Amino acid sequence: MINTQTIVREPFNAQSLRAQFPILSRTVHGSVPLVYLDNAATSQKPLAVINAIAEYYKHSNANVHRGGHAVGAEATALYEDARSVVAGFIGAQQNEIVFTKGTTEGINLVASSWATMMGSSLRGRSIVITEMEHHANIVPWQMVCERTGASLRVIRVNEDGTLDLEHAKTLIDETVSFVSIVHVSNTLGVTNDVRVLCSMARDAGAFSLVDGAQSIVHQPINVKDIGCDFFVFSGHKLYAPTGIGVLYGRADVLEKMPPYQGGGAMITSVTFEHTSYNDAPIRFEAGTPNMEGAIGLAAAIRWFSTLDRSLVCEHEHALSLRMISDLKSIDGMRLLGPGVEHAGIASFVIEGVHAQDLGILLDEQGVAIRTGHHCTMPLMRRFGVTSTARASIAAYTTDQDLDAFSTALLRTVRMLR
């Protein structure tokens, strides 16, 4: 007999999740409850991460890969376990994970080391980025072009916030050596079809990098499915500590790339005449690494993996739709990227209201958002603005947060007009 009983899934309970984040229960400016909507800049940290870091410092603090003592061995095991946890989280091999300070250092590492590997062959070649890139995925490639004689090509952004893929097809040709693209725009919230763009790069014989700083927390990531040569992200947007990030690089590519920095650990032998370098990924981790950060990142991933990701995605999607709907109801409001689905991020301007003034007055009411150019000045110019207000959500964001945001925003707009 066929069981036709409908299975009812419990909705995601963000309110109960908040109890694991001590900072979310605090007040600001005396007694105003904090409403934190600046998650695209950095997320808050759960007790699981805070406690893991404290336990490390209480029991296992030592330098890694060198000490011949018990505590050093414990620290090394924790650090390398973190590398394994990260690899599993994004569908990579352990030897393809390089720990960095964050997304910015990951891109700079690739730009510097890959360009050194390529050498003079880059003269007359092209590097492709998009018009919506963060400065961290623009400036390093400009530096490569200045140093090597390569040229920078930029894929246009449409008025609705999407990438012009037809324009991309004209730019990614046989002269291109590298394509570096953002997965989810930190300003627009738009999700780019990185699989298609990486496929274009591969067909052209070019390498590809995906900036996953925003996507890593809002959708499951598998680097093999994406088909990129490199993928970078920061821990602090994934409920992990600041100062830790990840560079995924295809093992066969990393092994060909020279070191990014020189120092301890990244060598096998040193004489005044010659130095031999360690294998990847250790080759790219000169000096004492951020052990605390790596251990905290592993704790964050383990904690995050206990959540039902499909329910988290549904929750964030519903909140995004509601946040956009609330914003669109305000007279004179202009949303950047009006024709796209926003991955938990909304950047907007309101006629007659300066973004900085808006941010200051919202803060006085306990609502934390971000204002400015969001390190995307070329994108700001594309849309004819100098700055925007940006609200962004996380798994712990609630409808009550958005109620408070909407009420404070309407009150502030009336004050400023």
Each residue of 251-289: b (16+ CB within 10 Å) or e? Answer: eebbeebebbeeeebbbeeeeeeeeebbebbbbbbbeeb
What does the alpha-carbon distance between residue 265 and residue 72 come to, in Å, rounded to a whole number?
Answer: 14
List, in order of start, the domains of the chain with CATH numbers.
14-39+308-416 (3.90.1150.10), 50-305 (3.40.640.10)
pLDDT at 9: 57
pLDDT at 355: 96
Under 8 Å between Cβ of 316 and 308: no
Query: Would you call 313 a catalytic residue per the annotation?
Result: no
What does the alpha-carbon distance between residue 171 and residue 155 come to, in Å, rounded to a whole number?
Answer: 7
The DSSP output letter for 20 is G
Find the catalytic residue in 145, 198, 228, 375. Answer: 375
pLDDT at 2: 43
- Residue type at 94? Q
Neighbours of 133 (CB within 10 A): 25
pLDDT at 339: 74
* Residue whose structure tokens are 């502030």: 412
pLDDT at 11: 77
What does the alpha-carbon distance between residue 185 and residue 299 come to, in Å, rounded to a whole number?
Answer: 26
Quick check: bond before 281 cis, omega within 30? yes
User: Structure pTM?
Assistant: 0.96
Under 8 Å between Cβ of 396 and 21: yes
* Residue whose structure tokens are 């105003």: 32
What does the alpha-carbon distance between residue 217 and residue 402 come to, in Å, rounded to a whole number?
Answer: 20
Q: What is the mean pLDDT of each run of 10 residues along the chain (417 residues)?
A: 50 93 97 98 98 98 90 97 98 98 98 97 98 98 98 97 97 98 97 98 98 98 98 98 98 97 95 96 96 98 97 96 95 88 93 95 98 98 97 98 97 90
> In a 10 Å sphere around its CB, with 0-12 CB exposed, 13-18 middle and 19+ buried, how is residue 111 labelled?
buried
pLDDT at 7: 47
* 277 token code pair: 């370098």
Q: Backbone dihedral region of 365: left (phi > 0), alpha (psi from -120 to 50 degrees) or beta? A: alpha
DSSP-derived secondary structure for 86-147? HHHHHT--GGGEEEESSHHHHHHHHHHHHHHHHGGGGTT-EEEEETT--GGGTHHHHHHHHH
* Residue whose structure tokens are 């990227």: 337
Judged by DSSP in three states, 60 sits in helix
The DSSP output letter for 338 is T
Instruction: Tell me the backbone φ, ψ of residue 277, rounded to 5 degrees.
Output: -100, 150
Which residues are registered as beta bridge partners of 270?
275
CA-nearest of 106, 338, 110, 312 to 219 is: 312
Sheet holding 388-392, edge to edge: 333-335, 345-350, 388-392, 370-372
pLDDT at 366: 98
